[in-house]
Amino acid sequence: MNFDLTEDEEMLKALVERFVADHYDPDKRRAYLAEPEGFSRRNWALLGELGLIALPFAPEHGGLGAGATALATVFEVLGRGLVVEPLAEAALLAGGLFERLADDALQAAWMPRLVTGEKRLAFAHREAAARDNWAWVETRAQDNRLSGEKSLVVAGAGADGFVVSARTSGAAGDADGIALFLVEATAPGLEITPWRLVDGGVAATLRLDTVDATPLGGGLAEIAEARSWLALAQSAEALGIMERLFAETLDFLRTRKQFGVALGSFQALQHRMAAQYGQIEQARALLNLAMMTSPEDAAAWRRTIDGAHAFIADAAVALGHEMIQMHGGMGVTDELIIGHGHKRLLMLSRWPETSAATLDRYAGVS
């Protein structure tokens, strides 16, 4: 089977690699994370100019209409570079939901600026009592006014609007009666409280007090489809981070000496590194399988992505632990990229759901 990238995909990969090489190193990354929104606005604008924000959007809206292979290729490179700009969270997840559900008038008002990065949306679904239950929505919608609280809105700080889930009927936990709404960040009655995540990014808590909202429609089915695309991107990003941490650690073991010899000469460490290399290769095989499965067979496509995501999320965190151990105590310091990567892997393994919840769905028990 041929796993070679097409010419266009190779060019896209080279473009992202150049962006990472020109704009990322550990010091710059720390500076980007320290900004109020947890990423660089200049980098976000540049990603818009390069057409990378447009990647998941349809060509009729000015996007590139990228498929699974192109998306995974780009996010693997972004992961290897530990890029902090929220392409998956803003463009792929929130932007993708908006594009699929918004009517023509809303799309005309928002899509041109979403595609270029001039405006940014965030997805507001998670509530404090929900844990991994996607149907647990207590936020209420009455006459297109929303009341409730969204506890974890990733990349919510500084967003221009929010795609918010709310209940139009039924009780929390019911699969039916959930719809999506567009809420502008400046809407009266909306309180936005930013806070820091484990990886240094900035999320927000939304408190809605009879906030005016524009109905988008949809429900859990549309959220599930968007979640699968997000999981594909996150799996690719995690694989890229795994490769980066492994390469950094391998270089460290080859150069760091103890008792007058390189650490890499110790057989026990060689065995542990070989085991982690095997995990990386298995993760890549599962990601390739997910990319090859056609979205037209929705059930098989989602199940394949769930399987890949469940394995990669756990394997990536375990690899991060091992790479930290190889570096000793300094592995967790902010000076080394190892700690940065591990924190991002922790975030990817727990949002928007835990790997255990993904595995349960893959196994058909949830």
Distance CA 233, CA 290 (A): 11
Q: Which of 121-130, 137-146, 302-311, 322-331 has the lowest mean pLDDT?
A: 322-331
Domains: count for the chain: 3
Tokens 């509530």 belong to residue: 127
At a CB cut-off of 8 Å and minimum separation 6, what does 264 contact? 250, 253, 254, 270, 273
Instruction: Please check whether residues 182 and 291 belong to one and the same domain.
Output: no
For position 258, what pLDDT does the model report? 79
1 pLDDT tier (thresholds 50, 70, 90): low
* Paired strand residues for 152: 126
Give a yes or no: residue 290 inside a domain.
yes
> 191, 218, 245: which is the final residue of a domain?
218
What is the CB-side half-sphere exposure of residue 104 using CA atoms within 13 A? 0
Give a yes or no: residue 278 inside a domain.
yes
What type of residue sits at position 51?
G
For position 159, what pLDDT does the model report? 98
Q: State the average pLDDT over residues 51-67.
A: 95
Instruction: Please check whether residues 342 and 294 belong to one and the same domain.
Output: yes
Q: State the average pLDDT over residues 92-101.
A: 98
| Number of neighbouring beta carbons within 10 Å of residue 364 | 7
Give a yes or no: residue 2 inside a domain.
no
223 pLDDT tier (thresholds 50, 70, 90): very high
**DSSP codes, 49-100:** HTTSTTTTS-GGGT-----HHHHHHHHHHHHHTT--S-IIIIIIIIIHHHHH
Q: State the average pLDDT over residues 228-255.
A: 97
> 70, 94, 116: which is the final residue of a domain?
116
For position 339, what pLDDT does the model report? 94
CATH code: domain of residue 77: 1.10.540.10
For position 332, what pLDDT does the model report? 83
Q: State the average pLDDT over residues 320-337.
A: 89
Q: State the average pLDDT over residues 289-310.
A: 94
Instruction: Please check whether residues 241 and 152 belong to one and the same domain.
Output: no
CATH code: domain of residue 318: 1.20.140.10
| Number of neighbouring beta carbons within 10 Å of residue 167 | 22
Q: What is the pLDDT of residues 150-174, one digit of tens each?
A: 999 999 999 999 999 999 999 999 9
366 pLDDT tier (thresholds 50, 70, 90): low
Q: Is the pLDDT of residue 37 over 80?
A: yes
> 75, 92, 116: which is the final residue of a domain?
116
Q: Which of 73-77, 134-138, 332-336 has the lowest mean pLDDT?
A: 332-336
Instruction: Please check whether residues 192 and 289 belong to one and the same domain.
Output: no
Give a yes or no: residue 1 inside a domain.
no
Range of the domain at 126: 121-218
Instruction: Please check whether residues 255 and 345 belong to one and the same domain.
Output: yes
Q: What is the pLDDT of residues 252-276, one digit of tens each?
A: 999 987 788 888 778 999 999 999 9
Closest CA to 183 of 152, 211, 203, 158: 211
Instruction: Please check whether residues 99 and 159 belong to one and the same domain.
Output: no
Instruction: Please check whether residues 164 and 278 belong to one and the same domain.
Output: no
Tokens 């239950």 belong to residue: 133
Q: Is the pLDDT of residue 251 over 80?
A: yes
